[in-house]
A = this chain, B = another copy of it.
C-alpha cells in the first residue's frame, strides 16, 4: 500500500525549492529534505553524488536560467515582457537569490545573457553596445530584485511603496538609456 514513487533528481530539486520557498534557505538541510521526500538523508547522495553543493547548483540553474523566448515583435517590447517574466520568476523563489549571487554555478546565466545580447543586436545596437547592454539589463534585474527581497524581508507592509510600479518605471529608464527610440 502507498508505496512512494522512486526518488529522482527532478523530484529532489522541486522538493528542495518548495522547502526554500516555504521555510527559507537557512532551513534547507539534507536531513530535512530527506524527511520531505520520506527518505533518509543519505539516499539523496545516490542521485546527487556531490551532495549539497550539487543540489544548490541545480537550484540556481532551475531558477535563474530563463532566456528570452523566441518571437517576432518589437525587440524593445520583447525585452520588456521578458524582464517582467524574469523578475516574476526570481521573486517566486527569492530564497535562492543569495545562491545566484554567490560564485556557484558559473554559466547558469550564460544562455540568458546571450539571448539578451542577440535581441539587442536585433534592436540595432552594435556588438560592443549589445555586450554592455546585456550586462546592464541583467545587472539591473538582479540588483533590483535583491533590493526588493531585502525590503520585503524587513517587514515593510507594501503599502509604503508599489514595487511593481517602481520596477516598471525603472525598467523604462534603463531601456531608454540602452535602445534609441525606433523611428516610426
Contact = CB atoms under 8 A, between A and B. Distances in A.
Copies in the complex: 2
A150 interface: yes
B101 A166 contact: no
Q: Which of A100, A107, A139, A178 is the most central at the interface, judged by chain B CB atoms within 10 Å of its CB?
A: A139
A140 interface: yes
Main SS class of interface, A: helix
12 contacts: A98-B102, A101-B146, A106-B151, A132-B166, A135-B144, A136-B140, A139-B140, A139-B146, A140-B143, A142-B143, A143-B144, A177-B178
The 7 closest A-B pairs by CB, nearest first: A177-B177, A143-B143, A106-B154, A103-B153, A139-B143, A139-B144, A142-B143
